[in-house]
């Protein structure tokens, strides 16, 4: 066994290694907590000053992480957040948890990974494990990440340091499966990297799932999210057709669920939001072009998803039309702008896209969301959530239920509204005044 490998394995075992986590979002922060619980010293690298200030005061901005636990780790000195990449030199294990968004033309934006890799390369000590957790296209670890780190550090993977890919699987708001109890795919670049990576992650999570190469792990993560994108898009298309045929898609799905094998239900909605499902598959579609390959399923699913907010605007228009009203001049309030129920995240939320289109057509738009105090949209700018009241509701021409948080009082909404467009199956049956997706 090489000396370096022996050293890091021993350091993992006796918890003397220091762990650096780059990016303290909904992935990095819970992961930091998982390592802190196991007794490691953790440095968190975060460029956002506001987040660092919150962390310094022991305040969590991620729903899956409790203030108490965080505050204790900060107070004890086990956890420090910083934006100083030179601190990476002290770390024996570095885990990259930065975002992989799409740019405004829908192409992968790799600058976060690129910058993180540069910082790691510039500050890499020999004998360190570097792990990437960001969801990205297959071959990223080997063909994108590795050359940057080796180039910047002038160190050699396998001999001087190790690289692995271990995709995050965080499902924000999931009450049962958290970072520590969701099986973790781990793929070292070689046998040594795999051994070190499995040893490290084995300390933070209950079960690890080793695979033979980073590209297998990269593809597995994208397959998981592509499966969801494709199936939600399918059910959204079926919902639109069902609407035209006078068929209640929600009843259809419940009936199909009675099949005890070979079926998994997905539910329609105003479109797919969040930071994973609407983005990740397009990383794969993008890299496929390099192999002269068209991923037609992802392309078609993406098209359906892209059109959903517009189609919902048409539904709202049709509902108003039955009351002899136009969008132009109507007062329309949205209930729920988070991308899914019971989370505070409104990134990529279809509700916001619909609000902007409604505003663009002359509608007077407000929103209420008990989780999301304010949003910023391209058209409307900054908007704050308004308080629900019977008077407010009764003044609206249309109430759109876009995301149904558990704490929304549907009965109150129905009692006080003239017209409801229900995009979230909040109301069991459609009526003259309730239009269901």
Site residues (CB under 8 A) for its own copies?
138-139, 169, 171, 174, 176-177, 182-183, 185, 209, 211-213, 215-217, 219-221, 223-224, 226-228, 230-231, 233-234, 237-238, 240-242, 244-249, 251-253, 255-256, 258-264, 284, 288, 291-293, 295-297, 299-301, 303-304
Q: Residue 249 or 400: which CB sits closer to its own copies?
A: 249
Catalytic residue among 117, 164, 276, 398: 276
Least Å from the CB of residue 269 to its own copies: 15
Q: How far is CA 190 from CA 155, 156, 194, 279, in A?
A: 16, 13, 6, 29
Q: Residue 262 or 373: which CB sits closer to its own copies?
A: 262
Structure tokens given for 324: 């002899």
Least Å from the CB of residue 178 to its own copies: 12
Indicate if 276 belongs to the active site.
yes
Q: Residue 42 or 229: which CB sits closer to its own copies?
A: 229
Q: Residue 165 or 371: which CB sits closer to its own copies?
A: 165
Which residues are paired to 19 by β-bridges? 42, 93
Q: Residue 293 or 412: which CB sits closer to its own copies?
A: 293
Q: Residue 104 or 244: which CB sits closer to its own copies?
A: 244
Least Å from the CB of residue 101 to its own copies: 21
Least Å from the CB of residue 267 to its own copies: 12
Least Å from the CB of residue 290 to its own copies: 9
Least Å from the CB of residue 247 to its own copies: 5
Least Å from the CB of residue 185 to its own copies: 5
Least Å from the CB of residue 410 to its own copies: 21
Contact by Cβ (8 Å): 432, 319: no
Burial of 293 (0-12, 13-18, 19+ CB in 10 A): exposed
Q: Residue 47 or 307: which CB sits closer to its own copies?
A: 307
Instruction: Report the 3 state secondary structure along the chain.
Output: CCHHHHHHHHHHHCCCCEEEEECCCCCHHHHHHHHHHCCCEEEEECCCHHHHHHHHCCCCCCCCCCHHHHHHHHHCCCEEEECCHHHHHHCCEEEECCCCCECCCCCECCHHHHHHHHHHHHCCCCCCEEEECCCCCCCHHHHHHHHHHHHHHCCCECCCEEEEECCCCCCCCCCCCCCCCCCEEEEECCHHHHHHHHHHHCCCCCCEEECCCHHHHHHHHHHHHHHHHHHHHHHHHHHHHHHHHCCCHHHHHHHHHCCCCCCCCCCCCCCCCCCCCCCHHHHHHHHHHHCCCCCHHHHHHHHHHHHHHHHHHHHHHHHHHHCCCCCCCCEEEEECCCCCCCCCCCCCCHHHHHHHHHHHCCCEEEEECCCCCEEEECCCEEEECCCCCHHHHHHCCEEEECCCCCCCCHHHHHHHCCCEEECCCCCCCCCCCEEEC
Q: Residue 141 or 377: which CB sits closer to its own copies?
A: 141
- Residues annotated catalytic, as ranges: 276
């Amino acid at each position: 066994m090489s000396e370096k490998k022996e050293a890091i394995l021993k350091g993992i075992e006796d918890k003397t290694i220091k762990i650096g986590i780059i990016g303290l979002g909904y992935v990095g922060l819970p992961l930091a907590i998982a390592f802190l619980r196991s007794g490691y010293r953790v440095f968190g690298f975060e460029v956002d000053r506001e987040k660092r200030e919150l962390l310094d005061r022991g305040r969590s901005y991620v729903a899956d992480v409790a203030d108490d636990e965080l505050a204790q780790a900060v107070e004890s000195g086990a956890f420090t957040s910083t934006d100083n990449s030179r601190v990476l030199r002290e770390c024996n294990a570095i885990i990259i948890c930065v975002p992989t968004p799409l740019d405004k033309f829908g192409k992968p934006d790799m600058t976060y990974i690129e910058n993180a890799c540069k910082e790691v390369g510039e500050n890499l000590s020999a004998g360190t494990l570097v792990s990437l957790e960001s969801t990205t296209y297959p071959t990223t670890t080997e063909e994108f990440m590795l050359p940057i780190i080796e180039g910047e550090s002038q160190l050699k993977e396998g001999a001087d340091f190790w690289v692995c890919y271990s995709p995050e699987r965080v499902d924000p708001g999931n009450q049962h499966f958290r970072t520590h109890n969701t099986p973790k795919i781990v793929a070292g670049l070689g046998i040594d990297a795999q051994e070190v990576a499995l040893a490290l992650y084995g300390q933070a999570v209950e079960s690890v799932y080793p695979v033979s190469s980073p590209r297998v792990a990269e593809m597995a993560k994208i397959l998981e999210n592509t499966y969801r994108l494709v199936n939600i898009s399918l059910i959204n298309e079926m919902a639109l057709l069902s609407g035209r045929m006078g068929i209640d898609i929600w009843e259809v799905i419940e009936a199909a669920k009675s099949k005890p094998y070979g079926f998994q239900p997905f539910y329609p909605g105003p479109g797919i939001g969040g930071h994973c499902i609407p983005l990740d598959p397009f990383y794969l579609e993008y890299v496929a072009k390099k192999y002269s390959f068209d991923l037609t399923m992802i392309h078609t699913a993406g098209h359906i998803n892209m059109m959903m907010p517009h189609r919902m605007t048409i539904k709202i228009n049709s509902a108003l039309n039955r009351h002899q009203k136009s969008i132009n001049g109507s007062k329309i309030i949205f209930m729920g702008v988070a991308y899914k129920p019971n989370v505070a995240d409104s990134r990529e939320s279809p509700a916001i896209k619909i609000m902007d289109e409604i505003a663009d057509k002359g509608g007077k738009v407000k929103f209420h969301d008990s989780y999301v105090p304010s949003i910023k949209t391209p058209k409307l700018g900054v908007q704050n959530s308004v308080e629900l009241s019977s008077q407010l509701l009764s003044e609206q021409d249309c109430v759109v239920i876009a995301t149904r948080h558990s704490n929304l009082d549907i009965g109150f909404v129905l009692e006080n509204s003239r017209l409801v467009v229900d995009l979230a199956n909040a109301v069991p049956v459609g009526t003259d005044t309730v239009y269901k997706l």
